[in-house]
Amino acid sequence: MTYIIAEPCIDLLDRACIDVCPVDCIYEAEEHNMLLINPEECIDCAACEPVCPVTAIFAEDDVPADWDKFTNLNYEYFGQKR
């Protein structure tokens, strides 16, 4: 499992999650104007989730249905399949 960054991050780009990530798996996706987590690099530590000021980070299984497309985006951006 991985963590997913969803819609609330768009245009915000708060980097608190980057600062706490022990494996540096969070990247700025300029073309989407948001941050994304590389699913292959994520170690599921959950350090990023509580520091997000807009509740944009979810465990993959907990992403709200309305934002499911962001799960796909997080995988596809890094050339991976869900």
CB 42 within 8 A of CB 2: yes
* Predicted pLDDT at 58: 98
82 in a structural domain: no
Q: Which domain holds residue 47?
A: 3-77
* Predicted pLDDT at 1: 84
CATH code of the domain in which 13 resides = 3.30.70.20
Q: State the chain's maximal CA–CA distance in angstroms.
A: 29
pTM: 0.94
Rounded to 5 degrees, what angle do the CA atoms 52, 55, 59 make?
95
Q: In the predicted model, is pLDDT for residue 82 greater than 90? A: no
Distance CA 75, CA 54 (A): 21
> For residue 11, what pLDDT band results from cuts at 50, 70 and 90?
very high
What is the average pLDDT across 25-33?
97
> For residue 81, what pLDDT band results from cuts at 50, 70 and 90?
confident
Number of domains into which the chain is organized: 1
